[in-house]
Amino acid sequence: MVIQEKISLSALTTFQLGGSARYFVIVKSIPELKEAVTFSKKESLPFFVLGEGSNTLVPDEGFAGLVIKNEIRGIKMKEKKGEDGKFLIEVGAGENWDSFVALTIFQKLYGLENLSYIPGSVGGAPVQNIGAYGAEVKEVITEVEVFDTKMMKTRLLPAKECKFAYRDSIFKREAGRHLIITKVIFELGKKGRVNIGYKDLRAHFKDRYSSAVLPGEVRDAVVAIRKKKLPDWKVTATAGSFFKNPFVSKAHFEKLKKTYPEMPGFAEEGKIKIPLAFILDKVCNLSKFRNGNVALYESQPLAVVNLGGATFLEVKQFASLIAIKIKEKTGIEAEWEVRVME
Ligand code: EPU
């Protein structure tokens, strides 16, 4: 394990911008992770754990601490005794998310098909509680193994203690700052029923019954839909959805509906979740908005793209401009979905 100095971070994130890490290290095991954390403590420096950098934005001044790139790998699968066809799968945080999803599909397991083709690492999945096409990863996580930097050892966190919510978990909050995800434990089953209720999937499968659709078919459909709608991060610098979809009160939604009768809204957690893409496109007329090197992606305005050479400051200014327009038209405060390395 080598601790390097002044490593540029832009190529390590899909948004491809920002400065350097004062210190940078790749860890491939728990002893290496322990060594890295010990170093940051000894130097009194903060640390930031990076996976595949698909949801992280690096400030132009970089990170004045230690960036730990988590490459802890390994996948172990065991059948649950006495429970027909249920499996517990322990996956190292440094595994690639979609390769792992593909593996579960190959094993004919139900549970992750809707979350196909999401960029990033397995360790990033619980941080964001990644979600797509009517599914959220919290539904299949039983435990998360963390390295507790206060206790300096690993421990298991039951899903309940992870405080999962829409694009949120304890790992994004101050209360979880001392926890580094080392493994994620999933429960998946060989028996099940796919969830094809989400608009785009419904349209894809037309009038087929969900009981007759296999996880592999859902994966293929999700991959095709994502390829059509979202920018390919290997070609276009982006972190996918830039803002979260907002939740508003019923009264607020009804008021908006009067002006915009077409506005979609979904009842969740006692509130109404509105697709911000609709607001950007139909309410603010921003679907092709561009400012310098930053733009909203044409077929999915929720995704902000770096057209090449954008700085963090430019992205921040761009996002502020958009947030102001959203606020003016709807009274909604748009919240960033992407994470800033700080
Ligand atoms: N819409 C428009 N104009 C557009 C695009 C969309 O009006 O140009 C409206 C439509 O009404 C559409 C609705 O927005 O039905 C929702 O669009 P979509 O199904 O593409 O989903 P989203 O709400 O924009 C969320 C996630 C995505 C995830 C998709 C699919 C968030 C922040 N984003 O986007 O996640 O893939 O649902 O389930 O919740 C990501 O997190 O990076 C990400 C891509």
Other CB atoms within a 10 A radius of the CB of residue 7 amount to 17
Q: How far is the CA of 132 from the centre of ligand 1 (A)?
A: 9
Global pTM reads 0.97
Which H or E element spans position 320? helix 312-330
Cβ of 246 closer than 6 Å to ligand 1, yes or no, is: no
Whose CA is closest to 136, among 164, 108, 163, 173? 164
DSSP state of 111: S
Q: What is the pLDDT along the chain (342 residues), one digit of tens a residue?
A: 999 999 999 999 999 999 999 999 999 999 999 999 999 999 999 999 999 999 999 999 999 999 999 999 999 999 999 888 999 999 999 999 999 999 999 999 999 999 999 999 999 999 999 999 999 999 999 999 999 999 999 999 999 999 999 999 999 999 999 999 999 999 999 999 999 999 999 999 998 999 999 999 999 999 999 999 999 999 999 999 999 999 999 999 999 999 999 999 999 989 999 999 999 999 999 998 999 999 999 999 999 999 999 999 999 999 999 999 999 999 999 999 999 999
Cβ of 133 closer than 6 Å to ligand 1, yes or no, is: yes
Cβ of 116 closer than 6 Å to ligand 1, yes or no, is: no
- Rounded to 5 degrees, φ, ψ at 40 are -65, -35
Cβ of 317 closer than 6 Å to ligand 1, yes or no, is: no
319, 280 in Cβ contact below 8 A?
no
Q: Write out pLDDT tens, residues 245-262.
A: 999 999 999 999 999 999
Verify whether residue 155 is a known catalytic residue: no
Instruction: Identify the active-site residue in 167, 169, 219, 226.
Output: 167
Q: How far is the CA of 39 from the centre of ligand 1 (A)?
A: 41
β-pairing, 247-248 vs 237-241, is unpaired
| Calpha distance 51→59 (Å, rounded) | 17
Q: Which atom of ligand 1 lies nearest, measured to the CA of 130? A: 41
Verify whether residue 44 is a known catalytic residue: no
Polymer length in residues for the chain:
342
In the block, residue with structure tokens 């920018």:
231
Pocket test for ligand 1, best of 97, 241, 260 (most atoms within 8 A of CB): 241
Cβ of 63 closer than 6 Å to ligand 1, yes or no, is: no
Mapping DSSP to helix (H, G, I), strand (E, B) and coil, where does residue 149 land? coil
| Calpha distance 158→144 (Å, rounded) | 6
